[in-house]
Amino acid sequence: MDDKSTEEARRELRDALDALRADVHFAQADLKDQIAMLVEHIKGINSDLAERIERLNPVTIENLIVQYIKPIIVNVFPKMNEEEIRLISGIAGILPGEISIKETPERIGSILVDAAVNKGRLSEFVRKLTEDYPFLLEQFNEEPSASTIKDLKAKLTEASQSLLKWPTTLGNEIWLHRRELDLLEERVRNAEGTASLILGKPGSGKSAILALLGLRLIDKGVPVLAIKADMLPRSIKDLEDLQAHLRLPLPVIQCLTIVSRSEPAVLIVDQLDAISEVVDGNSERLNLLLDLIQTASKINGLHVVSSCRWFEYKHDIRLTTIEAEKVSLEPPSWEDVKKVLKESGFPEKHWSDELRKLLSVPLHLKILLDIKSRDPDAKVPLTLQGLLENIWQQRVIVGETVSEKLTFLDILCKRMSEDEELWVPRSVADDYASAFNELQQGNILQLDPSGLKIGFVHQTYFDFARARAFARDREKLSEYVIQRQDGLFIRPVLLTTLDYLRGASPAIYEKEVKSLWNNQGLRPHLRSLLIDYLGNVEKPNDTEISCLLPMLKEKEQGYRVLLAMAGSPGWFSIIKD
């Protein structure tokens, strides 16, 4: 509808389409007849609206119709064999070989519906499907009861527990106000359907904000499905697997379509970055969620909110395909942070710019408060690595089971790296029960909502545990990186370990940097990461200078290196001299 359409007219149009959707003849009719049927249906309710529909571009009407029938059609394709898909592809105007066999059945169905629309073959396409798969007619005709919708909303909430149970405070019920949460709530309240992508740095509070958003909306009766991408096992390859994992009674898209018919509904997909850096052969989870987001964004009345770290968004081209309004997650105000510090027992003093920057990251502030809760006299470290080392000294490198805890953490990290999953079966702890219990009580490790899997309280703890293992010379960082260049955890492991080694073991740090820098087989995305890291250090050492300074003279890389140095006064002093 055009900008002059009122909300009442929009509602009447949706109601009309809902009513016609139950008419098989409408689904099978060509576009001209569908418009005529729609106009005839509305004429007795709102003659002015009917006249305006007659004047509309037919493509606008077609898009509305496709929005209603596409989710149902797409869910037929997992039940079809290759020959059946080949035949229906021809009706949609797609020749053999034009669709990759690597695509999921649901994705193929989505592509074919779009092709049928673009080539004017939608009616013929739908007619063939309903003839071959009569159960489709039942789904077109089905109008869920109020009790069915109520039960479905409860199932969606149950399926969302992995995110809804994520901590939303700094501890002791302390909460930092975030304007982005208000913005997202307002969008759900005032718009018919939106797509938002939350972008932020590690520890900026993306999961906490989305968890609180989900809880608040559910408390207001809004249907919510929340998916935490890092907790999806690698075995999930299509929407059918996702439905089984979430234990939903109907396909995911169908569930979302049903609950959003009469009221706004929300799909939340958190931490896309956690599955963004896998090799092509293991990319099913990310591709699946991107397809889900794309399809769900076209459902009227459904709001889609997803989140990702900035780095992965910039370096994984698949993530840039998300069509959504980007919301950059800004740090909380320093006044709010200072108030929390004062109420937590820290004396009022002049906080340096370095500490302000450190503690304006919610995760870092949370770690400091956690340290303070067990040691009232604890000093404030100047870096994230200092905060994490303090936690390790408090919770891990203490007691009679230190060796057992360190061994268990090494085994856990190795298993997560090999499986490329942040959660592993609880049985991994069977031989280290005491160590696991202590680490769980120390808020280093946690169980998932099912109680069947173990994970770190935050991915940053996993990164740090790996970094300390490299510092103990259990494994060479350079060899580990070269062997797993496309692995899921390489980026955070590389950054965290370099940062840790630089402060804790400079000799090993310089050796590893040289080894990586001089390796001709280092992939471009990791070399770019290394340039970014070296360019950001505040006081470059001789090794770092020898790596980057010569590159400033290179035509292709010089500007790239200069950009990496832009935030470092130390580098500009060296360049100036």
Q: What is the average per-residue pLDDT within 295-302?
A: 85
**Using one digit for the tens of pLDDT, what is the confidence trace for 213-235?**
999 999 999 999 999 998 888 88
Q: What is the average per-residue pLDDT within 146-152?
A: 84
Element spanning 468, H or E: helix 459-471
Residue 172: CB partners within 8 Å, gap ≥ 6? 369, 373
For the chain, the average pLDDT equals 83
Q: Find the range with the poorest average confidence among 24-28, 296-300, 389-393, 476-480.
A: 24-28
Note the pLDDT of residue 439: 95
On whether the CB atoms of residues 445 and 457 are closer than 8 A, the answer is yes
pLDDT of residue 514 exceeding 90: yes
Element spanning 455, H or E: strand 453-456
User: Minimal CA–CA distance to 274: which of 488, 463, 449?
Assistant: 488
Share of the chain above pLDDT 70, in %: 86
Q: Find the range with the poorest average confidence among 393-397, 407-411, 462-466, 502-506.
A: 502-506
Listing DSSP states for 424-443 in one string gives: EEGGGGGGGHHHHHHHHHTT
Residue 461: CB partners within 8 Å, gap ≥ 6? 388, 444
State the pairing for strand pair 302-309/424-425: unpaired
Q: What is the average per-residue pLDDT within 256-265?
A: 87
pLDDT of residue 412 exceeding 90: yes
295-299: long-range pairs with CB below 8 Å, 24+: 295/70, 295/71, 295/74, 295/110, 295/253, 296/253, 296/256, 296/267, 297/193, 297/195, 297/323, 297/324, 298/67, 298/70, 299/67, 299/71, 299/193, 299/253, 299/256, 299/257, 299/260
**CA 388 to each of CA 378, 502, 559: distance values in angstroms, whole numbers, following the listed order:** 13, 15, 34
Token digits of residue 195: 């797509």
Element spanning 556, H or E: none
pLDDT of residue 277 exceeding 70: no
Note the pLDDT of residue 58: 59
pLDDT of residue 428 exceeding 90: yes
Note the pLDDT of residue 181: 94
Q: What is the average per-residue pLDDT within 350-366?
A: 88
Note the pLDDT of residue 280: 33
Sheet strand arrangement including 445-447 = 424-425, 453-456, 445-447
Token digits of residue 555: 């035509």
443 C-beta neighbours (distance < 10 Å), count:
19
Q: What is the average per-residue pLDDT within 454-469?
A: 88
Note the pLDDT of residue 518: 92
Q: Residue 351 phi/psi, 5° resolution?
A: -90, 125
What does the alpha-carbon distance between residue 365 and residue 8 come to, in Å, rounded to a whole number?
Answer: 48
Highest averaged pLDDT of the listed ranges 116-125, 504-513, 568-577: 504-513
What does the alpha-carbon distance between residue 81 and residue 379 come to, in Å, rounded to a whole number?
Answer: 65
Quote the Cα angle for 368-413-460, to 5°.
25
Q: What is the average per-residue pLDDT within 305-331?
A: 86
Q: Which amino acid is at 18?
A: D
**Using one digit for the tens of pLDDT, what is the confidence trace for 87-109?**
888 888 888 777 776 777 878 88
